[in-house]
């Protein structure tokens, strides 16, 4: 059995900034990057076109937003800015360690997470109570290029786990995104149907 887990809202909980544009502005200023006077408007505007289902890196969005106001900033500086702007406490959800452990006893385990900030998923995992070596693959939308529920996101994590999507069982909390596993040919396990604490018994019964 091969299992992938959503991260945010499924295995861990985080509280994003109340005002992301302001949080980003604060970290830009801390790095001596001039912040445009209308930064909140620039942050809200669309600067980079993407096709349906594709993920837009927040790094590219912020770099383009600054450039639209005549401010140049390197991708490296913006990446560090975003990691600090979205650095919030990570709370491991009850039952997460047992669920991942039960999956690992049965085969390869992966993470498939929607996240537009490069590096944020591995950072969140490192700050959680989950063991990094419990996962055979960690795939974020910003790294693979596709956001759940796009079928290509599930195809990517299945490929990283060396199986076809039809052999994948995906556990997540959001029917609108994680439920897309079904269209990709995988099996979707939603927490509204199977609570995280019940995932070990669910996997046992599915064998």
What are the structure tokens assigned to 112, written together?
Answer: 């498939």
User: Do 94 and 150 share a domain, yes or no?
Assistant: yes
Helical ranges in 18-89 per DSSP H: 20-30, 39-44, 58-67, 75-85
Backbone torsions φ then ψ of 74, nearest 5 degrees: -75, 155
Angle at 144 between CA 59 and CA 42, to 5 degrees: 25
User: Do 57 and 96 share a domain, yes or no?
Assistant: no
In total, how many domains does the chain have? 2
What CATH number has the domain bearing residue 117? 3.40.50.1000
Per the CB < 8 A criterion, the answer to whether 147 and 153 are in contact is yes
User: Do 67 and 101 share a domain, yes or no?
Assistant: no
User: Do 47 and 33 share a domain, yes or no?
Assistant: yes
Comparing CA positions, the residue from 101, 93, 97, 92 lying closest to residue 203 is: 101
User: Do 109 and 155 share a domain, yes or no?
Assistant: yes
Q: How would you write the pLDDT of the chain (207 residues) with one tens digit per residue?
A: 999 999 999 999 999 999 999 999 999 999 999 999 999 999 999 999 999 999 999 999 999 999 999 999 999 999 999 999 999 999 999 999 999 999 999 999 999 999 999 999 999 999 999 988 899 999 999 999 999 999 999 999 999 999 999 999 999 999 999 999 999 999 999 999 999 999 999 999 998
User: Do 118 and 194 share a domain, yes or no?
Assistant: yes
Domain boundary among 37, 64, 85: 85
User: Do 97 and 38 share a domain, yes or no?
Assistant: no
User: Do 34 and 57 share a domain, yes or no?
Assistant: yes
Per the CB < 8 A criterion, the answer to whether 132 and 92 are in contact is no
Helical ranges in 105-163 per DSSP H: 120-126, 141-144, 151-160
**pLDDT number for residue 207:** 83
Domain span including residue 55: 20-85
Model pTM above 0.75: yes
């Amino acid at each position: 059995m091969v299992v992938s887990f959503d991260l945010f809202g499924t295995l861990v909980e985080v509280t994003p900034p109340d005002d992301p544009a302001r949080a980003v502005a604060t970290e830009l200023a801390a790095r001596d990057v001039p912040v445009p006077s209308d930064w909140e408007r620039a942050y809200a505007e669309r600067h980079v076109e993407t096709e349906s289902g594709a993920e837009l890196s927040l790094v590219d969005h912020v770099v383009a937003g600054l450039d639209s106001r005549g401010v140049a900033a390197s991708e490296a500086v913006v990446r560090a800015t975003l990691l600090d702007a979205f650095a919030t406490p990570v709370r491991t959800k009850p039952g997460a360690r047992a669920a991942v452990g039960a999956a690992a006893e049965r085969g390869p385990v992966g993470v498939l997470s929607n996240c537009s900030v490069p590096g944020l998923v591995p950072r969140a995992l490192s700050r959680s109570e989950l063991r990094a070596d419990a996962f055979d693959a960690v795939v974020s939308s910003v790294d693979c290029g596709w956001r759940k529920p796009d079928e290509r996101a599930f195809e990517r994590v299945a490929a990283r786990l060396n199986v076809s999507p039809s052999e994948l069982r995906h556990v997540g909390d959001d029917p609108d995104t994680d439920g897309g596993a079904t269209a990709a040919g995988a099996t979707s396990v939603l927490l509204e149907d199977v609570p995280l604490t019940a995932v070990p018994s669910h996997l046992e019964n599915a064998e």
